[in-house]
Chain A
Amino acid sequence: DSGVTQTPKHLITATGQRVTLRCSPRSGDLSVYWYQQSLDQGLQFLIQYYNGEERAKGNILERFSAQQFPDLHSELNLSSLELGDSALYFCASSVVEHRGRGYTFGSGTRLTVV
């Protein structure tokens, strides 16, 4: 157990739907990062939050949004889902904001859009 908790582990939904993925960071970690992993693209950075504030955006689609709450858990909202959104979504956390220190990853949410 890495200490980063992601729910649900699996999610199957239809095109056009909206889903919410949840992440609880490791105790004491203030930074939360969301990544998408697909077979052809590898791990792609989506967005980062630090202590409740958005810090950086990567290749995140406009249909996707995220937030970090006062208790530091984070949610990734995916809407108007398309078949191509099927992927593994990982949340990672770190103590500090500096990205060179290494992240602790959760076990991921496998999203299947049918």
Chain B
Amino acid sequence: TQLLEQSPQFLSIQEGENLTVYCNSSSVFSSLQWYRQEPGEGPVLLVTVVTGGEVKKLKRLTFQFGDARKDSSLHITAAQTGDTGLYLCAGVLGGSQGNLIFGKGTKLSVKP
């Protein structure tokens, strides 16, 4: 059973479109992170959210942590071909010093 479920698993869109990917759990997380991974490379940290309801923006990317700290979303506005990659969410379970648990990711392909 995957603690963090990401959806959709695959997403193929045209340049200029908007998209949202989701990261859901039935467990509460003390913090949640989003990473982007390109082929042949390791994941690169995009953002960390720690407070329920928190919204963070990184240029065209908007990250939201759910009020109950069980879910998160990543919204990309006007996608570009450079946004192509695997988007991973990862979290630390609430009340623990446990290690970072990763979802399986959403594979995004932005076509010109």
Taking Cβ atoms with an 8 Å cutoff, the residues of A that contact B are: 2, 4, 33, 35, 41-45, 48, 56, 58, 90, 92, 97-108
Beyond known contacts A42-B102, A105-B43: 14 more, CB 8 A cutoff: A33-B99, A35-B102, A42-B104, A56-B98, A90-B42, A98-B97, A99-B97, A99-B99, A100-B30, A101-B48, A104-B45, A105-B35, A105-B42, A105-B44
Q: Find the residue from B31, B43, B45 having the highest chain A CB count within 10 A.
A: B43
Q: A58 to B79, alpha carbons, bound, how many Å?
A: 36
Q: Does B100 contact A (CB under 8 A)?
A: yes
Check A42–B42 contact: CB distance below 8 A: no
Output the least CB separation between A89 and chain B (Å): 10
- Within 8 Å CB of B31, what residues of A? 100
Contact with A along B88-102 (1 / 0, CB 8 A): 101010000111111
Q: A43 to B101, alpha carbons, bound, how many Å?
A: 8
Q: Decide yes or no: A99 and B102 within 8 Å by CB, A107-B40, A108-B42 being known contacts.
A: no
User: Please, could you name 22 A-B residue pairs with CB atoms under 8 Å apart, sorted by A?
Assistant: A4-B42, A33-B99, A35-B102, A45-B101, A56-B99, A92-B42, A98-B97, A99-B92, A99-B97, A99-B98, A100-B31, A100-B33, A102-B33, A102-B45, A103-B45, A105-B35, A105-B42, A106-B42, A107-B41, A108-B40, A108-B41, A108-B42
User: Residues of B within 8 Å of A, CB-based: how many?
Assistant: 25
Q: A42 to B45, alpha carbons, bound, how many Å?
A: 16
Taking Cβ atoms with an 8 Å cutoff, the residues of B that contact A are: 2, 30-31, 33, 35, 40-45, 48, 50, 88, 90, 92, 97-105
